[in-house]
Amino acid sequence: SVPKDKAAEIIRQQLGAGGSPEEGFVPAIKSGISELKSAGAALAGRTGVMDTERAKQIMAEEEAYQKRTFKPTEKGWTEAPVTKFTELLGGSIPYVAAPLIAGGAATLGGAPALAATGLGALASGAQFTGQFLKRQVDEGTPLEKTNLAAAGTAGAAAGALDLLSFKMFPAIRGIF
């Protein structure tokens, strides 16, 4: 039998709710997923899909989770190339997943390539728009006063570039 305090510590560590933030792939992917949730809350709150106060609460909770979970290595690329690469990969996977899933689902559903590409671009553009809104909030603009038009325009352009980069990978090219 495990003592209650030890069991609570194990649970907190497994949930990322205690202890020190860690380096590496798994903490990076957890932080990336959390960052994506925060960006989604910013977009939902700014567009009226979600109550603004609730969106701000989610953003704050996710930021706290990220700080508890992940601390990028302070070593340089020459000292820890594998750690740097796996952290970069882990932080990127959540952002790559939604456009690939949207495009892949459309392709598997028999949609024409143009529709699959459009869905992938829409998912990617929405992610970037949320990130750009969140950045405005991080820089001190209240969520209610963020510039949705600027974030949306930049998000659409970034999403298009993102999809263009997907076409460079042979394994992904067929999805879009």
The model's pTM: 0.75
SS3 content of the chain, % helix, strand, coil (to 5): 75, 0, 25
What is the CB neighbour count within 10 angstroms for residue 19? 11
Q: Which of 93, 116, 109 is nearest to 173 (CA)?
A: 116
Cross-strand partners of 70: 22
**SS3 at position 20:** coil
Q: For 119-173, what is each residue's pLDDT tens digit?
A: 777 888 899 999 999 999 999 999 999 999 999 999 999 988 877 776 666 555 5
* Amino acid of residue 151: A
Whether pLDDT at 40 is above 80: yes
- Report the helix count and the strand count for the chain, using DSSP H and E: 7, 0
pLDDT score of 123: 85
- Give residue-wise pLDDT tens across range 72-121: 999 999 999 999 999 999 998 888 888 778 777 877 788 777 777 777 77
First-to-final CA distance of the chain: 53
Using DSSP, state whether 70 is helix, strand or coil. strand
More confident: 62 or 16: 62
Top-confidence residue, 59 or 123: 59
Region 57-71 average pLDDT? 94
For residue 144, give the DSSP letter: G
Q: How confident is the model at residue 44 (pLDDT cuts 50, 70, 90)?
A: very high
Residue 47 is classified by DSSP as H
b/e sequence 20-35, b meaning 16+ C-beta within 10 Å: eebbbbebbbbbbbbb
d(CA 58, CA 37) in angstroms, rounded, equals: 8
Cα Rg of the chain (Å, integer): 18
- pLDDT computed for residue 46 by the predictor: 96
Greatest Cα pair distance, the chain, in angstroms, is 58
